[in-house]
Chains A and B, each alone.
Chain A
Amino acid sequence: MTSVRTLAVGLLGLLLIVAGVSLWVLGDLTTVVVSIALASTGFLWAPLIWFIGIIVILSAALANTLPFKNYLAWLLLLVVGYLAVFVILVSVTSVILP
């Protein structure tokens, strides 16, 4: 059962990585205006998807060894923690920067 889970997690990670790169390639091929528009709507956050994909694919190691609920907790911790670093830095600095 655990091996299936590990494989599933690994594949999900790979999917996210590929999706991230593809979105970026598509965004780059279309005209500058279109890609900016897409990015502004919040849909084309290609690098973010890529990074989450990296975290997910590495978490396959945790999926292989932890009980499922605990694995999810760790995955959430890693992804949210990673984003939280950006959020904290951005919020703190945006208050101080003129």
Chain B
Amino acid sequence: MKKGYDMSAEEESILQPLLKTGKGFYVFVGVLLILTGWFLYCWYTQLSQGLIVTGMRSVYNAPNYMTYGVAEGSPWGIYVTTFIFWIGISHAGIAISASVRLMNLKKYKVVARMAEVLTLVALPMAALSIVFDVGRPDRLFNLLEFGRFQAPMLWDLSAITTYFMGTIIYLYLSLRGDIDQLALRIPRREWFYKRLAMHYEGTETEKERHKQTLWWLAVAIVPIMVTVHSVVSFVFGLMIARAGWYSTIFAIYFVVGAIVSGVAAVYSLAWIFRWLYKWQSLITDEVLKGITWALRNVLIIYLYLWIAEELTMNYMGSSAELRVSDFLFSGRYAPIFWPMVIIGFAVPAIILLKPVFIKKIFNPKLTFIASIILNVALWVARFTIVVPSLLNPPLYPTGIYIPTITEVSIITGTFWMAVLLYVAFVKLFPIIELDVVEA
């Protein structure tokens, strides 16, 4: 292995992904590419045959032989659910980076970049989820040309654009120093890194300038992050016509849920990288414990809000709200609702709360399992928000929504592509900031 520079052992450890590529990696990427190919084929099917290939249907009813199966169902389904999910995941990045930079929590610097890259990858996947959902994606320019600022969806597009641009600029500026270093350390890619570093000089003044700019950028991006998921919640929370959606606490409910998603995802990633590249000395138990602490606290707040929502719908709700609530508690979606509550919420809550009450040694692996379960549960939770309310429209309850295989194949495409993009980054740039070992 060519080394153009004498690297310390720790640096070489951080740069493992860039220096070595095992066979397992190629197999992994190969499988992902095949799955992505399947996704592309299914998307092609949907585009040529129309959204009828999904399980979504119109709201109104009429005798079924008259509607030829296009009515009596939910107009939105797992595409919109996954959109909310990806936006939730995207709350990882700046939550961690901002804490590190604004509150001087240097301990978590080691996971800051993996969180930022997660945001960068999650946001385009969220946008793509919606592109799959619209009936005429060939008219997307209409959003830029005729977009109405009174429409919650335009608020979504604005907030997501702002958040994405802010994050990519933030990531580039914090990466620039490392890119410059990589030009020395990996000579075969020098031409690539040198151009990308854009005349970075590495002087103290320049570093200070970067620090200052990044600080202000972090300050600007935090309210943007809160705005993003709030406007996503407004798409639902402002709909007076939809029982179960029309709620005042949706904004904070969604934002807290997103932070739980994001922090859980960062924990998962941190654990995976630690295990994969043997970074126990970098991503220490202390760091993981800290993330767990944050995860535990936001989870408690999220469960509090979730209970408030469910109770309000169920206790003395209007007939429509009771119908929605019954769908979840005892009706046709009970088979996914109760596992979500018991396995998805209660089990991770117990795992995370146990160390508080029973003094046990911190178990990173168990917390990792909890973090994965939480994100799956939160996906299901968003499904329970989107679909049951749509199956209970005001004038008459209608139909059922079951996603089709084509639909699932298309939306899982966002997961495969997200992993591919993330892996590409990991292979090109250090996923842990080089400063961490250079102090």
Contact = CB atoms under 8 A, between A and B. Distances in A.
Report if A and B touch in the complex (beta carbons < 8 A). yes
Interface in B417-437: none
Contact of B169 (A48, A61, A82, A90): A61
A59 B213 CA distance: 11
Interface in A8-25: 21, 24
A12 B209 CA distance: 22
Contacts of B141: 86, 90
A78 B170 CA distance: 13
Contacts of B170: 61
Contact of A61 (B137, B138, B198, B213): B213
Given A61-B213, A62-B173, A97 B149 contact: no
Interface string A2-43: 100000000000000000010010001000000000010000
A58 B209 contact: no
Contacts of A96: 44, 47-48
Given A47-B147, A89-B137, A93-B137, A65 B47 contact: no
B162 A54 contact: yes
Contact of B137 (A55, A64, A90): A90
Contact of B143 (A47, A61, A78): A47
Contact of A47 (B44, B127, B145, B220): B145
B289 interface: no
Q: B-side binding surface: helix, strand, loop or mixed? A: helix
Given A47-B154, A61-B213, A39 B145 contact: yes
Interface string B314-343: 000000000000000000000000000000
Contacts of A64: 209, 213
Interface in A65-96: 65-67, 70, 73-74, 78, 82, 85-86, 89-90, 93-94, 96
Contact of A58 (B148, B169, B199): B169
B356 to A, nearest CB: 40
A50 B158 contact: yes
Contacts of A24: 148-149
A82 B157 CA distance: 12
Given A67-B198, A67-B199, A89 B165 contact: no
A50 B161 CA distance: 11
B188 interface: no
B32 interface: no
Contacts of B137: 89-90, 93, 97
Contacts of A55: 161, 165
Nearest to A40: B145
B165 to A, nearest CB: 5
A85 B130 CA distance: 14
B162 A93 contact: no
9 contacts: A50-B158, A51-B144, A58-B217, A78-B169, A82-B161, A85-B124, A86-B141, A96-B44, A96-B48
